[in-house]
Amino acid sequence: MVKRALLSVSDKTGITEFARGLQSLGVKIISTGGTAKILRDAGIEVTDVSEITGFPEMMGGRVKTLHPRIHGGILCLRESREQMAEAIKEDISLIDMVAVNLYPFEETVSKEGVKLEEAIENIDIGGPTLLRSAAKNYRSVTVLSDPSDYEHVLEELRSTGVISESTRAALAIKAFRHTADYDAAIDVYLSKTLLGENILRLNFTDGVKLRYGENWHQEAFFYKDPEIEGPTLAKAVQLHGKELSYNNYVDADNALQTVKEIGNASPAVAIVKHNNPCGLATGSTLLQALQAAWDGDPVSAYGSIICTNEIFDLEAATFLNGKFVEIILAPDFKPDALEYLKKKSENLRLLKLPELREAFGTDYTYKYIIGGMLKQSRDIGIYEKWESVTDIPYPEEKRPLSEFCLKACKTTKSNAVILAREYEPGFFMVLAMGAGQPNRVDSIRKLAATKAVENLRIIYEREQPAISFEAYRQEIISECVMASDAFFPFDDSIVYAAQNNIRYIVSPGGSIRDSEVIATANRLGVSMIFTGMRHFLH
């Protein structure tokens, strides 16, 4: 039973209601300073900590709860005759509940121009000690470090008269995590401020074992970042299908980031295979975007991951009949589409992410290598300038297609080359891509150019236009845009592009041979933009 509770909070959210609920259950309340005043002003009977300790709060409030009559009442083992006898001998009354949250240290140090003295004054000492004492003795004491737990604890007390051990254990772990995070924030700030050292502390929870790692013989786990905002796979709800593997998470994250690059102005679909978008398109409908994305590489789309910014509907689901995909990630699924897809395959993973259309909530990415962690700011934006560098001016009407092409290039592994097409007015698709090659020339001549012809052949045979395939191919590719994620170190890339009738190229520029590259483009009738922004992705 809970007979006495100590309430001492910095964040006063819900504390009055919580205290009133405890009082109605006959719980006696002990409190300190501002918390006690708020409770008294609300008509709640409170005993000051100073009445129990026999000492006033002192040293500007730095010392108030650090006393044997407080911590003895919390830490005393109820099942120990010796400790209970000691408590009686020293006139220590037991404390069965502790509700504490801490001085706002992180909020304080995040302010512009905060002084060291102010930061140090917001390092809580008594609060973490109370939380850790109560959490250590969770078998007898309920500890609350988060106002969001007040209501369900009250409900449990009202319904059963006690707090279950499972609830106390969960709350104790939460308290230890809270103090660990608090100490980590202090470490990071003081290490930087006093020692000039950069400390990185990351916090991941809710680890789940995955089906396997990159390969079947490897073990893998997924941990969530509890603080992240915006769309993440950690927030996705699996509606159907077997468990996810390591590769599923990696590929689905790439698909999510690719779709997020396109934005929400129109339906967009990314199709990812082996951590590269092998298909990407926009459309007037989800079905149209999905069809166009699939046309970007029908072969690689086998066993792929699909992500869209639209609610998945039955028309799109029907298009996938006879096509094998691993995962569909969408903001939601219409009921008839969900039922259709469930019947399509018992293994197809369907992931619902309601936040998918929201902005990402982090400015950094991290990558672990053996012996260390790499941290970098996210690659945000697609160009720093828009400079037409060739004799033939780059057409302004090609800019929307070029921007789409750059966005696709950003999420494709280096050396990346993307060939994109405006297949209907205002709607775009990746016609072909070259990814992950040690040299850029192979990405163009052996991959993107070759794949474009293969994909156009499939589209040509389906649409059966009244011209020869060669004329059809020349006409379409001549209006495509090719984007490169980095500069051209030699002019051979321009030569191979022109040989394939590619006339519009977007590149960061910045090579010591830019003048040679530009001269070759002028000689071959190619129009080129320099953006000043590289987009390597390793």
The fold adopted by the segment(s) 381-530 is Cytidine Deaminase; domain 2 (3.40.140)
284 sits in which H/E element: none
pTM of the model: 0.88
Cβ neighbours of residue 16 closer than 8 Å, sequence gap 6 or more: 38, 39, 42, 44
For residue 229 the two structure tokens come to 């905002």
Binned at pLDDT 50, 70 and 90, residue 187 comes out as very high
Architecture of domain 210-352: 3-Layer(aba) Sandwich (3.40)
Identify which of 143, 147, 107 has the alpha carbon closest to the alpha carbon of residue 124: 107
pLDDT at 27: 93
pLDDT at 496: 95
Tens of pLDDT, residue by residue over 357-366, are: 999 999 999 9
User: How many other CB atoms are there within 10 angstroms of residue 165's CB atom?
Assistant: 11
Is the pLDDT at 70 greater than 90? The verdict is no
Mean pLDDT value across the chain: 94
With tokens 């033939």, the residue in question is 392
Binned at pLDDT 50, 70 and 90, residue 227 comes out as confident
pLDDT at 52: 82
Is the pLDDT at 59 greater than 80? The verdict is no
Average pLDDT on 279-295 reads: 97
Q: Do domains 210-352 and 381-530 have the same CATH topology?
A: yes
Average pLDDT on 92-110 reads: 91
Is the pLDDT at 60 greater than 70? The verdict is no
Average pLDDT on 211-232 reads: 94
pLDDT at 524: 97
Is the pLDDT at 148 greater than 90? The verdict is yes
Q: What percentage of residues in the chain have a pLDDT greater than 70?
A: 98
Average pLDDT on 471-487 reads: 96
Q: What percentage of residues in the chain have a pLDDT greater than 90?
A: 86
pLDDT at 482: 97
pLDDT at 18: 95
Average pLDDT on 409-435 reads: 96
Cβ neighbours of residue 250 closer than 8 Å, sequence gap 6 or more: 275
φ, ψ of residue 385 to 5 degrees: the values are -150, 165
- What letter would DSSP give residue 481? E
Q: Report the C-alpha gap between 520 and 514 in whole angstroms.
A: 10
Domain ranges, ordered by start, for the chain: 4-195, 210-352, 381-530
Binned at pLDDT 50, 70 and 90, residue 92 comes out as confident
Cβ neighbours of residue 144 closer than 8 Å, sequence gap 6 or more: 97, 98, 99, 100, 150, 153, 171, 175
pLDDT at 51: 81
pLDDT at 67: 80
Binned at pLDDT 50, 70 and 90, residue 1 comes out as confident
Binned at pLDDT 50, 70 and 90, residue 413 comes out as very high
Tens of pLDDT, residue by residue over 25-53, are: 999 999 988 899 999 999 999 998 888 87
How many alpha carbons fall within 13 Å on the CB side of residue 389? 22
- What letter would DSSP give residue 64? S
Is the pLDDT at 61 greater than 90? The verdict is no
Q: Report the C-alpha gap between 478 and 285 in whole angstroms.
A: 26
Q: How far is CA 336 from CA 48, 117, 206, 314, in A?
A: 61, 61, 32, 6
349-352 and 364-369 strand pairing: unpaired
Average pLDDT on 214-228 reads: 94
Question: With respect to CATH, is domain 4-195 assigned 3.40.50.1380?
Answer: yes
pLDDT at 63: 67
User: How many other CB atoms are there within 10 angstroms of residue 8's CB atom?
Assistant: 23
99 sits in which H/E element: strand 97-101
Specify which residues 272 forms β-bridges with: 277, 305
Which residues form the catalytic set? 136, 274
Is the pLDDT at 426 greater than 80? The verdict is yes
Checking 443-451 for CB contacts under 8 A at 24+ apart, the result is: 443/415, 443/416, 443/417, 444/417, 444/482, 444/493, 444/496, 444/497, 444/500, 445/496, 445/499, 445/500, 447/417, 448/417, 448/418, 448/419, 448/482, 449/419, 449/496, 449/497, 449/500, 449/502, 451/297
Binned at pLDDT 50, 70 and 90, residue 85 comes out as very high
Q: Report the C-alpha gap between 244 and 210 in whole angstroms.
A: 6
Cβ neighbours of residue 5 closer than 8 Å, sequence gap 6 or more: 22, 27, 28, 29, 30, 95, 96, 97, 98, 99
* Rg of the chain in Å (alpha carbons): 31
Binned at pLDDT 50, 70 and 90, residue 533 comes out as very high
Identify which of 295, 529, 251, 258 has the alpha carbon closest to the alpha carbon of residue 430: 295
pLDDT at 284: 97
φ, ψ of residue 49 to 5 degrees: the values are -55, -35
Tens of pLDDT, residue by residue over 368-386, are: 999 999 999 999 999 999 9
pLDDT at 211: 94
364-369 and 387-388 strand pairing: unpaired
Average pLDDT on 131-146 reads: 96
